[in-house]
Structure 1
């Protein structure tokens, strides 16, 4: 769990600071992603109690971040899932000491964190970082694969890039709390919000396809991590 938190935090942070290709050359952009990912991995690993024996983790995570950032390659999407599974499997085998933030964490007077172990809290925060921007990348890639006409609807329904992260974070938080009713309310509200655009859809049905595919992929990403807690 702790290694997965390191990985997701690094990927999420790299995507949050990633510049558009038009603003920065690709090789420099990948260097920036590797630097940010490696730095975040080092900080999170140290905070969770990993010592110098896992210094290898920094270049490994940086390499995964770079592989994830090369989005024009057909196989780019496999880098993170494979690395995530390996992180979960190896997590119990890599020794970890007492986290240096343990004293600070135990002093926090937040009721919802009472009894929550540091690795679990760190993973929740890392997942939240991933759901903000990295999940948008996944949704957009799926929409692109569905068809060029579908992704073109993004230019008309731009609110999805803002609403998507908000929805995912809300659904993830509510799912952790077991509030299924509130999740249903969010999904219903999304349908009501998008109904005017869908009702004016052309015969091709591209707007409806964009909303439905994008929404289901986005919600799936918010829920896929919940069984880990």
Structure 2
């Protein structure tokens, strides 16, 4: 699963960099560099590993470019297909990956973090990628799903007509919620994770019902439901990969 970890790290770094410093090329370049450096640190230098790494870099670069396009004037489903196809290919060939080791394995052997005691280098890389994706990438995926389902208009992002500007805090609460769900799931507390999901709906309900315009209420409710389920699926997909 180390190759999937490399892809998730590359995509996660790309979106984190873009959230801090929006640029047309820099984020995906740094994301690709992070994947390459991690592969070298894990001693993934066999012929198959290098071929997979080249594929990872290509997907990360394509992701960065198509996200900007898809959230602008292009179809929002294109970056979803790029990432989904990349993950599918790597899942199908993941058994051919060489064993990760190198500096990553050395660090795991010497770390005092007891939560990583049962992790080998391959699973640790996957864990890093999953956690990174819960941050900015999760928000990007939610926006793409909302745009692809015509729940929002990407061109109105950040404007008064964007439902997200009226449901404040979602872009901050989303990553916190996804990380919380992943951590609870890894700890075996699936029931507690479901309580978090239910609590979010209860807390948002008064805000959704506070609007007098029925059409606006329906629009906000649709935005909340589609966005929330897409966000939860990102966290659950991470748990499935780690399981």
Calculate the TM-score normalised by the size of structure 1: 0.87
Q: Cα distance, 1:145 vs. partner?
A: 2.9
Q: Does residue 3 of structure 2 align to residue 8 of structure 1?
A: no
Task: Quote the Cα distance in structure 1 between the aligned partners of 2:100 and 2:128.
Answer: 20
Q: Cα distance, 1:185 vs. partner?
A: 2.2
Give the equivalent residue in structure 1 for 2:83: 80
Give the equivalent residue in structure 2 for 1:64: 59
RMSD: 2.2
Q: Cα distance, 1:85 vs. partner?
A: 1.6
Q: Does residue 36 of structure 2 align to residue 42 of structure 1?
A: yes
Give the equivalent residue in structure 1 for 2:191: 181
Paired residue secondary structure (1:143): helix
Given that 2:178 and 2:234 are in contact with CA atoms closer than 8 Å, whether structure 1 keeps it comes out as yes
Calculate the TM-score normalised by the size of structure 2: 0.83
Q: Cα distance, 1:138 vs. partner?
A: 1.2
Give the equivalent residue in structure 1 for 2:237: 224
Paired residue secondary structure (2:96): coil
Task: Quote the Cα distance in structure 1 between the aligned partners of 2:102 and 2:95.
Answer: 16
Higher mean alpha-carbon deviation, 144-153 vs 56-65, is at: 144-153
Task: Quote the Cα distance in structure 2 between the aligned partners of 1:10 and 1:192.
Answer: 35
Q: Cα distance, 1:58 vs. partner?
A: 4.4
Given that 2:41 and 2:104 are in contact with CA atoms closer than 8 Å, whether structure 1 keeps it comes out as yes
The 5-angstrom pairing of residues 94-105 of structure 1 reads 94-96=97-99, 98-105=101-108
Q: Does residue 211 of structure 2 align to residue 208 of structure 1?
A: no
Give the total of aligned pairs.
223
Q: Cα distance, 1:10 vs. partner?
A: 0.2
Task: Quote the Cα distance in structure 1 between the aligned partners of 2:192 and 2:127.
Answer: 19
Q: Does residue 120 of structure 2 align to residue 117 of structure 1?
A: yes
